[in-house]
Structure 1
């Protein structure tokens, strides 16, 4: 199960809407080994594509070095799908390299791209290990610790 604070959830959705019609991408960092996503880091989609995302390699290296220095890790890797459901594509599965990460997808299809849209947003989380995709429950909390989470 992915447990994520409302502020991080909102930041991911806002980033997906802001970058539409291109796919948005980023990570949510937390303390190493905690499985606790705390800090949302929007990344540049170097592909600048509505159907594919790719982290800018220089930005990713800088962020990875920063995480290493601070005993942090990417707890969530997220991106958006602009015209399809929030489910990993074959390409998404092929590039998933972090077996402990939660892979979050947000769909901005059907009007969900608008910053003023107040309807439901398709926000789903998956584990992707060895090419196998497993969907997991997402629990959005106000803050960690208020209801016994993490």
Structure 2
């Protein structure tokens, strides 16, 4: 299960909406070994595409060096789908290289209903196998 703060959840959704109609992407880092997402890091979609996302290789290298310096790891890797449901595509699966990360997808497709204007779903992707997991949004993490 992914447990994520309301603040981080809302930041991911806001990023997805702001970058629409292009896909948004980013990382939420957390202290190594904790599995707790804490630091929101929106990234630029180098592909600038409504159907594909790509982290800029230089930005990604900088991010990993920064996380290493701060003793962090990528807890959540997120991106948006602008025309399809929030479910990993074959391309998404092929790029999933963090076996311990939660892969969050947000769909910004119009018309999913006023009660749920977007989909926010989380998956584990290991060796090409997709497993959906529950998402718990909390106001604050327990100490």
Q: When the two structures are superposed, what TM-score results if normalisation uses the length of structure 1?
A: 0.91
1:135 is matched with 132
1:64-101 Cα deviation digits (max 9, x unpaired): 00100111000000000000000000000011000000
C-alpha distance in 1 between matches for 2:104 and 2:35 = 14
SS at structure 1 position matched to 2:74: strand
The answer as to 2:30 corresponding to 1:33 is no
C-alpha distance in 2 between matches for 1:105 and 1:58 = 23
1:81 is matched with 81
The answer as to 2:21 corresponding to 1:24 is no
The answer as to 2:128 corresponding to 1:125 is no
The answer as to 2:55 corresponding to 1:55 is yes
Report how many residues are paired: 142
C-alpha distance in 2 between matches for 1:77 and 1:3 = 14
2:103 is matched with 103
In structure 1, stretches of 5+ residues that fail to align are none
In structure 2, stretches of 5+ residues that fail to align are none
C-alpha distance in 2 between matches for 1:144 and 1:88 = 27
C-alpha distance in 2 between matches for 1:13 and 1:25 = 11
**Cα offset for 1:118?**
6.1
SS at structure 2 position matched to 1:21: coil
